[in-house]
Amino acid sequence: MKEQQLKELMTVMTLEDKIFQLLQLLGSFYQDTPDLVTGPKAKLGINDDAIKNAGSILNVRGADKIKAIQKSYLENSHSKIPLLFMADIINGFETIFPVPIGLGATWNPEIVKKSAAIAAKEAAVSGVHITFSPMVDLVRDPRWGRVMESTGEDAYLNSAFAKAFVQGYQGTNELLTEDNIVACVKHFAAYGAPEGGREYNTVDMSERTLREYYLPAYKAALEAGAKMVMTSFNVVDGVPATGNKWLNRDILRNEWDFNGILISDYAAIKELIDHGVAEDENAAAKMALEAGVDIDMMTSIYANHLLDVINKFPEIEDDLNESVYRVLQLKNELGLFEDPYRSANSLKEKELHLSTEHRQTAREVVSESLVLLKNDNQVLPLKSNQTIALIGPYADSTSLSGSWSFSSNQESTVTLKKAFEEYLDEENLFIATGSKVVETEFLESSLGNYFSPEIDMQIDEEKELKKAVEVAEKADVLVIAVGEHYLQSGEGGSRANIIIPQVQKNLIQALAKLGKPMVGVIFSGRPLDLREEVSQFDGLVQAWFPGTEGGHGIADILFGTANPSGRLSMSFPYDVGQIPVHYNEFSTGRPYQQSNHSKRYTSKYVDIPNKPLFPFGYGLSYTDFSYTNFELNKEILTQEDRLTASIDITNKGTVKGKETVQLYIHDNIGSVTRPIKELKGFKQVELEPNETITVTFEIEEKILRFYNRDMEFISEPGEFEVMIGPNSEINEKKIFYLKDK
């Protein structure tokens, strides 16, 4: 449709048509189930007219199902405006990729872009138009369950991934193609900093911290063209994001010039009442619309109250028209007025979903997401002539996709056992489950009436432990596949203690007594407290929740077909008591390393170290890289020119490997205190044995800008330190000076 036709459409729509365009409902409202009336409809307090004319639906999948809903909707709706279909496609659609905290560990935006493009293709043929992704919330607290969905603790790295996801979903052309879907960046803003790591808890930070660390990745997603934004559940400076005019109008719309759709998170408009900022549903409707929230996800607040609010406050109708027009524009951009069924195609679904090509890419992404944390005595890579005991509840598990995987069938997941059977002869491989993932009591308590015996592993624990020890005694090397339950991660999955469940610790302890070489493969959606496991295992590999090709990707690393190149994008705490722990901290007035005070009176703990167990940017390889000839081409940087930092990287080992060379900068003196270092660049280089390459980084004034004491985003002249290394603990420095204007 042309813009003029859209405008004409607006003129013929009734006020109710417009209001219902801002309503988003679950697909269950469009499936004729017996409990529809008593269940969802009654609970939401929504009437048939609203259902018949809602503007969008979330979390329905399948070409035939979506086409049927769209067809029936268009036959029954008053305005005949096609529905938008949106879904949570976080780490893949049918082919599931590693969870985003694992994608972040690839430090490879290009491969993440490729994974997003595959997810978009698979989703588009299944009728989905929009994904509620990327989630770019910066995270410093692994107690929070949703670190699983984030790419980590650094604004610069998260911004690179935000751009990659958006370009993967939407493509890089102005117009969307049939293989693209719309990206909805979330959760705006700063949802990743809940106090205590407790889900949905209060977020409270200075505007400087918000702007310096938490906002850049959302902005990067919008600069990459993201067409939608989702509000977050939390308050920002005491005002819930979903009712926050400063956040949504002043920053998002005016400062960043965003003209796309802002959708609430699930039921977040109604939660304005629970937050205590709206006295009733009318007030909540008015507050959210005035704050620029265009779509009401899964409440009846807009549908049931905006008419009344507009009668009382006629000026609100302008906000309504603005929101409705945005929704029509996006429907038009997707071509839905010309073809309401867009890319939905059940034949292409069968052809594209889980295709060999998609699986191969997923397998590569898995191996690039794995982080080798320890490899004593070269226990890895495994040799195919060794006898291996693969033990643990994740040895033959298909629950490898994390808590957001949209995939309809877990059977497509390649288990570790299956992958090992492709690497080893039958007589060289022994398998045992050994223990449950987690105590049944946890599942019963955390799931309540959602608990069903099928979720619980039906094993005889005593018998399984005995069998595990027996097979271990026959093996040369033990590979122990352990980790947290996927329900201990993700939304609603905050944990106060971030350890491997005790039932599995008992298994590891029993096996450690055998004194055999042990390799641990850790499955989790967060950095865990692995202090005990680090001392028990000779080799340790962080595998996250690796998705459909998890078994293959992990086996490729363990058997050396792929050389580990993953680097942590989030610090692993030495102890949960360190949290929040992140590399770009401030020195404090009493830095532990160098201070005029006695050790007692410096910034530290008396019972644990300050340093994390594994730092941001850390990861080992099967080869060794040396960093030599670190140089700056000059010491003075003016406002206009640029300075080149260079360093030689040599592969000193015997196998080809990929190294992620990281550039950090410290602004020694600022009008406000500056982090001891900040990631300002990274490059991945792949080197053959004995090969050397010179890596260079261009440093210019604009990358030195920050929010100064007056909240101006500018650089300040003075001394800077440059560090280039394999992770954030690098401390070899070169100095340069930024000249004044």
Binding site for ligand GLC (CB under 6 A): 58-59, 88, 132, 186, 265-266, 491
For ligand GLC, the closer CB: 186 or 331: 186
Query: Smallest distance, Å, CB 490 to ligand GLC?
Result: 10
Residue 210 is classified by DSSP as I
Query: Smallest distance, Å, CB 233 to ligand GLC?
Result: 7
Q: How many Cα atoms sit within 13 Å of 565 on the Cβ side?
A: 25
| CA torsion angle 457 462 468 471 (round to 10) | -130
d(CA 598, CA 139): 33
Q: How many Cα atoms sit within 13 Å of 494 on the Cβ side?
A: 16
Structure tokens at 372: 């080798």
For ligand GLC, the closer CB: 486 or 707: 486
For ligand GLC, the closer CB: 217 or 568: 217
Contact of 193 with 142, CB cutoff 8 Å: no
Query: Smallest distance, Å, CB 577 to ligand GLC?
Result: 28
Structure tokens at 501: 């469940």
Query: Smallest distance, Å, CB 244 to ligand GLC?
Result: 17
For ligand GLC, the closer CB: 90 or 695: 90
For ligand GLC, the closer CB: 118 or 130: 130
Write the secondary structure of 607-647 as one string of H (helix), E (strand) and C (coil): CCCCCCCECCCCCECCCCEEEEEEEECCCEECCCCEEEEEE
Tell how strand 84-87 and strand 130-131 pair up.
Answer: parallel
729 dihedral zone (left: phi>0; alpha: psi -120 to 50; beta) = alpha
Query: Smallest distance, Å, CB 131 to ligand GLC?
Result: 9
Q: Which residues pair with 737 in a beta bridge?
A: 636, 719
- Sequence-distant (6+) residues with CB within 8 A of 681 are 156, 662, 663, 697, 703
For ligand GLC, the closer CB: 266 or 559: 266
Query: Smallest distance, Å, CB 297 to ligand GLC?
Result: 7
- Sequence-distant (6+) residues with CB within 8 A of 583 are 153, 154, 571, 615, 616, 617, 677, 728, 729
Q: Which residues are catalytic?
A: 265
Query: Smallest distance, Å, CB 491 to ligand GLC?
Result: 6
Residue 299 is classified by DSSP as -
d(CA 208, CA 264): 25
For the chain, the farthest-separated pair of C-alpha atoms sits apart, in whole angstroms, at 79
For ligand GLC, the closer CB: 145 or 152: 145
Give the DSSP H/E element, type plus range, for residue 213.
none
Strand order in the sheet with 678-687: 636-637, 734-738, 718-725, 657-667, 678-687
Long-range contact set of residues 582-585: C-beta below 8 Å, sequence gap at least 24:
582/140, 582/153, 582/616, 583/153, 583/154, 583/615, 583/616, 583/617, 583/677, 583/728, 583/729, 584/153, 584/154, 584/675, 584/676, 584/677, 584/678, 584/679, 584/728, 585/675, 585/676
Query: Smallest distance, Å, CB 94 to ligand GLC?
Result: 18
For ligand GLC, the closer CB: 401 or 715: 401
- Sequence-distant (6+) residues with CB within 8 A of 43 are none
For ligand GLC, the closer CB: 261 or 687: 261
Query: Smallest distance, Å, CB 334 to ligand GLC?
Result: 19
Tell how strand 56-58 and strand 518-523 pair up.
Answer: unpaired
Query: Smallest distance, Å, CB 263 to ligand GLC?
Result: 9
Torsions phi, psi for 403 (to 5 deg): -90, 0
Residue 707 is classified by DSSP as E
For ligand GLC, the closer CB: 163 or 186: 186
Structure tokens at 460: 């005889």
